[in-house]
Structure 1
Amino acid sequence: MIPLLRRLSKSAPSSALLSKLMDVSSSFGGSQRLLALAQQLRLYTPPTISEDIEEQNLEESAGKVVSQVGFAESASPIAQDSERFRSKRAAVLVCLFEGDAGDLRVILTKRSSRLSTHSGEVALPGGKAEEGDKDDAETATREAREEIGLDPSLVNVVNVLEPFLSKHLLRVVPVIGILHKKKAFKPAPNPAEVEVIFDAPLEMFIKDENRREEEREWRGYKYIVHFFDYETENKKYLIWGLTAGILIKAASVVYQRPPAFVEQNPSFKVTRVADKDTILP
């Protein structure tokens, strides 16, 4: 049980308060668990990084957010070097819903095998911000509509996590949304981009099961890349890199506990000088 929901269950609200809670919970499909989750996540404050920094012209998979490597921006000194670095901004949608078994699940995609870059890899719906987007939430939900046919009106955006830096130093903002009308969502993958739409239990990303890791080196520094093996409906998926990093963080925030493994090698550092040739392998 999510901690906030546990606390709510110990209290006995008045009839007026109960009526109000029922009205609010209707926006989450009548689920008290999703309501409690939304209240919990709205209290979360991600670390902040100054954005008054120089623009860089960096490309990332034709505007889509897929990367072998992803680091929380607050742990990356490069993001704090205001005189040397500013990446382009993107957003992904971490869309949560309550599964039939009562567990929290997240919507994922497998990219089309026909794509020239990152073909067949697992990703969260998302992409680069466009000029007309008013904020990260609009970027993420717009991209989700384009990629998987998810109507933004079905999603309650409750918060954002701290930005991550992708392979090409794209600043990726994870937007946390709750799918409040699961049955109303009719997955419609865009064949040009998405091959499969599936979902996975969020909690798996803080468990040390079906997980492996590799220690890699970049410019003399070592870091950890996480790989999660997941099977559903007789199909196997590998979730790793940036997508895995974001989901580890999201699960840690939702379940209010750290992962049962080392999230990042403590000795890892990022160079303080970034240019157009700065690429993480």
Structure 2
Amino acid sequence: MNRAGCKMEIPALSAMFHPETAESETTSTRHVWKYYSINSLSARSPGLPRARPSGATAPLLRATSSFRQTDRQQPETLDSSETGAGQGSEIAPESLRRRPRSTRAAVLICLFEGGSGGGGEGDLRVLLTKRASTLSAHPGEVSLPGGKREEGDADDIATALREAKEEIGLDPSLVEVVTVLQPFVTKIGITVVPVVGILADKNAYHPATNPAEVEAIFNAPLEMFLHDENRRAEEREWMGDKYLLHRFDYQTADKKYEIFALTAGILIRTASVVYQRPPAFAERCPKFWHS
């Protein structure tokens, strides 16, 4: 548990090295961290594609180096366990591992530097969508690009990238996947896997909404999910477990969005790892998220 009341550990940056290649905290190690690149991180992540850091700036590289081995879940292939647990990863309980693949989904946390809203250098932002009002599930709500696993998807990364292309026209070749975070589990038993990717060249991406699924595409600063401003929370209860449902308000030039529930929880988790600190508020996330 972190001090905010959730099952989450925020790692020290030096802990991200694999045990077999770890160095002591020497001048040499600090030098490695200072110049750590997306490419070297991907090389240390078996199963993840090697990154092509062309155009990546210092803030993106620093964000990438905030993830360590115990935060990276191996992407689940069709014949692997539900958690994809490997050396140094957290093993999910038997109830989660036994869930059928039809109840598994993945979302893409696509990070880039700057963007609409006046974000400058060092302002890491995340792509978000407002779901179409005609959808039967969660119409009009803000979400991350993503959806349920399909039979042709090789793993969780493939699911997240495919869904992002279908929903918002994001070409997978533009995204450098750097980590797969610990899954979240919804009330109805859907396992949601957060896949973190870097969009180094945001000018190469030309947003294109799929009107059947997405009403709008926007982006928000990642760090806002650690701040208490523009946030409110309400207490909920599920099977005797009392928790807080967080809601973040975000205003663009012409629209106001509300980011809440699981989407907010995933972004709180991501921001905590990237910025190496817990949120400025009591989180009290539901136990079933990591049951």
When the two structures are superposed, what TM-score results if normalisation uses the length of structure 1?
0.73
Tell me the CA shift for residue 253 of structure 1: 0.7
Contact map agreement 2:175 2:197 (CA 8 A) in 1 = yes
Task: Report the counterpart of residue 65 of structure 2 in structure 1.
Answer: 39
Q: SS state of the match for residue 208, structure 1?
A: coil
Letter in 2 for 1:33: P
Over aligned residues, Cα RMSD in angstroms?
A: 3.5
Change in 2 beyond 3 A, CA 1:269/1:243: closer
1:131 paired with 2:131, answer no
Q: Does 188-197 or 167-176 show the bigger shift?
A: 167-176
Change in 2 beyond 3 A, CA 1:52/1:211: same
Alignment of 1:10-159 (within 5 A): 27-41=53-67, 43-46=68-71, 80-82=93-95, 86=99, 88-99=103-114, 100-102=119-121, 103-159=123-179
In 2, distance between residues paired with 1:39 and 1:46?
Answer: 12
Q: SS state of the match for residue 120, structure 2?
A: coil
In 2, distance between residues paired with 1:154 and 1:129?
Answer: 21
In 1, distance between residues paired with 2:58 and 2:186?
Answer: 35
When the two structures are superposed, what TM-score results if normalisation uses the length of structure 2?
0.71
Tell me the CA shift for residue 30 of structure 1: 4.0
Letter in 2 for 1:220: G
Tell me the CA shift for residue 177 of structure 1: 0.3
Give the number of aligned pairs.
235
Corresponding residue to 2:199 among 179, 187, 202? 179
Change in 2 beyond 3 A, CA 1:191/1:262: same
Q: SS state of the match for residue 203, structure 2?
A: helix
Contact map agreement 1:94 1:175 (CA 8 A) in 2 = yes
Task: Report the counterpart of residue 278 of structure 1 in structure 2.
Answer: none
Change in 2 beyond 3 A, CA 1:230/1:12: closer
Percent identity for Structure 1 against Structure 2: 57
- The unaligned stretches of length 5 or more in structure 1 are 54-73, 275-281
- The unaligned stretches of length 5 or more in structure 2 are 1-11, 14-26, 41-49, 83-89
Tell me the CA shift for residue 220 of structure 1: 2.7
CA-to-partner distance for each residue in 1:61-83, whole Å, 9 max, x for gaps? Answer: xxxxxxxxxxxxx79xxx62449
In 2, distance between residues paired with 1:83 and 1:35?
Answer: 33
Q: SS state of the match for residue 246, structure 1?
A: helix
Tell me the CA shift for residue 121 of structure 1: 0.2
